């Protein structure tokens, strides 16, 4: 008989379903036990071993661990694993003395990190204590990437974001803000670094190329780009009537943001029925608690333009055969007086 090798990822698959489902393989059972014992600081630091943003993820994670939770075998709901992560983050004590520190002796190696989002910050967190000098090039005036520009502050408060990023930046990261890397080749040719990490992310939304899209462009927006425009102050209000096409988590951020920008009649148009929704159940719940209406089985066909103005949209009313995941049309509907479409 050999001792259990916890370095083998298959170990978690066999014995700890939630930990296996977590992409970072965070030690979920242990950090929950620590919370139960009132050891919030210890729980936070255990979380931080596998992911350096427990407070951020406690508010924004998609929670792949919870569908895997064994509690659902005997009860209807899983353990609230993600919210417990937030509990540890919110109730922890002072941790400055527990955080990793920059190495006293440098190893002489220089690392270039492109982008100041979660990926590059995590790399810096891991390499600086080993003696590496990390230099981040960020196109925007502040760090955070998509966490800052595309997640609404009502979901991720700025103070939480700043605090957890500061734990890394204060280790001595060299950051060049407002510095966009247009050519990786030029950076490589300069030869100033021993290694290069590209952490630019891929925040690209989906287009809806149906008739009327071009003519109504002024009032039609790609969701993820629209959220970014709100962050930068380019959009500070919307009309009373808003349609959000699609039902993923970005759509939930868009409809809830619309509420805060003056929208009153907000509808989320879903092509399929609820079993096919991509948005997390808790995101749907939050949106519906704010009186956002979700209409199912509506397939967008065209934007209606009259006298150069967007007046509404036409949808096919469809019905899904769940056995073969096939939809057929049962009629059409027109939704009018749409001032903004996200």
Residue 207 has pLDDT above 60, yes or no: yes
Phi, psi of 242 (to 5 degrees): -130, 135
Looking at per-residue pLDDT, the higher value among 258 and 216 belongs to: 258
Residue 180 has pLDDT above 60, yes or no: yes
Q: How high is the mean pLDDT of the chain?
A: 91
| pLDDT score recorded for residue 342 | 47
pLDDT band at residue 32 under the 50/70/90 scheme: very high
Q: What is the pLDDT of residues 230-283, one digit of tens each?
A: 999 999 999 999 999 999 999 999 999 999 999 999 999 999 989 899 999 889
pLDDT band at residue 204 under the 50/70/90 scheme: confident
Distance CA 167, CA 55 (A): 12
pLDDT band at residue 334 under the 50/70/90 scheme: low
| pLDDT score recorded for residue 229 | 95
| Residue 267 and residue 296 in contact, taking contact as beta carbons nearer than 8 Å | no
pLDDT band at residue 14 under the 50/70/90 scheme: low
Give me the mean pLDDT over the 223-235 stretch: 95
| pLDDT score recorded for residue 318 | 84
| pLDDT score recorded for residue 182 | 92
Distance CA 48, CA 98 (A): 11
Looking at per-residue pLDDT, the higher value among 39 and 324 belongs to: 39
What CATH number should be reported for the domain whose range is 9-97? 1.10.1060.10
CATH 3.20.20.70 fits 217-341, yes or no: no
pLDDT band at residue 11 under the 50/70/90 scheme: low
Same fold? 9-97, 217-341: no
**Sheet hosting strand 326-336, strand order edge to edge:** 298-306, 309-321, 326-336
| pLDDT score recorded for residue 5 | 72
Residue 79 has pLDDT above 90, yes or no: yes
| pLDDT score recorded for residue 97 | 96
Looking at per-residue pLDDT, the higher value among 274 and 321 belongs to: 274
Q: Of the ranges 2-6, 90-94, 123-127, which one carries the lowest mean pLDDT score?
A: 2-6
pLDDT band at residue 325 under the 50/70/90 scheme: very low
- B/e letters for 167-204, b = 16+ CB within 10 Å, e = fewer, are bbbebebebeeeeebeeeeebeeeeebeeebebbeeee
Distance CA 169, CA 142 (A): 12
Where in the chain are the domains? 9-97, 99-198, 217-341
Looking at per-residue pLDDT, the higher value among 10 and 33 belongs to: 33
| Residue 315 and residue 271 in contact, taking contact as beta carbons nearer than 8 Å | no
Distance CA 149, CA 153 (A): 9
What CATH number should be reported for the domain whose range is 99-198? 3.50.50.60
């Amino acid at each position: 008989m050999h001792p259990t090798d916890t370095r083998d990822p298959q170990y978690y698959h066999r014995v700890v379903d939630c930990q296996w489902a977590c992409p970072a393989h965070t030690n979920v059972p242990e950090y929950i036990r620590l919370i139960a014992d009132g050891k919030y600081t210890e729980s936070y630091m255990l979380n931080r071993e596998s992911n350096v943003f427990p407070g951020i993820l406690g508010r924004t994670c998609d929670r792949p661990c919870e569908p895997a939770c064994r509690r659902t075998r005997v009860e209807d709901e899983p353990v609230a694993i993600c919210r417990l992560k937030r509990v540890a983050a919110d109730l922890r004590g002072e941790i400055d003395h527990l955080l990793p520190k920059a190495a006293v002796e440098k190893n002489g190696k220089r690392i270039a990190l492109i982008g100041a989002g979660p990926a590059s910050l995590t790399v810096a967190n891991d390499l600086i204590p080993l003696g590496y000098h990390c230099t981040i090039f960020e196109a925007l005036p502040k760090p955070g990437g998509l966490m800052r520009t595309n997640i609404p502050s009502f979901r991720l408060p700025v103070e939480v974001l700043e605090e957890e990023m500061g734990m890394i930046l204060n280790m001595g990261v060299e950051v060049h803000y407002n510095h966009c890397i247009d050519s990786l080749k030029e950076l490589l040719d300069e030869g100033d670094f021993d290694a290069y990490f590209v952490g630019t992310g891929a925040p690209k939304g989906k287009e809806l190329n149906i008739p009327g899209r071009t003519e109504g462009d002024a009032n039609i927006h790609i969701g993820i780009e629209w959220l970014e425009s709100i962050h930068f102050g380019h959009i500070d209000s919307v009309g009373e009537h808003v349609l959000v096409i699609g039902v993923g988590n970005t759509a939930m951020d868009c409809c809830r943001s619309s509420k805060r920008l003056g929208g009153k009649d907000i509808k989320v148009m879903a092509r399929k029925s609820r079993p096919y929704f991509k948005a997390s159940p808790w995101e749907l719940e939050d949106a519906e608690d704010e009186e956002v209406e979700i209409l199912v089985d509506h397939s967008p066909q065209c934007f209606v333009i009259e006298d150069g103005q967007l007046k509404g949209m036409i949808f096919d009313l469809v019905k899904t055969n769940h056995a073969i995941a096939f939809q057929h049309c049962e009629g059409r509907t027109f939704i009018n007086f749409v001032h903004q479409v996200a």
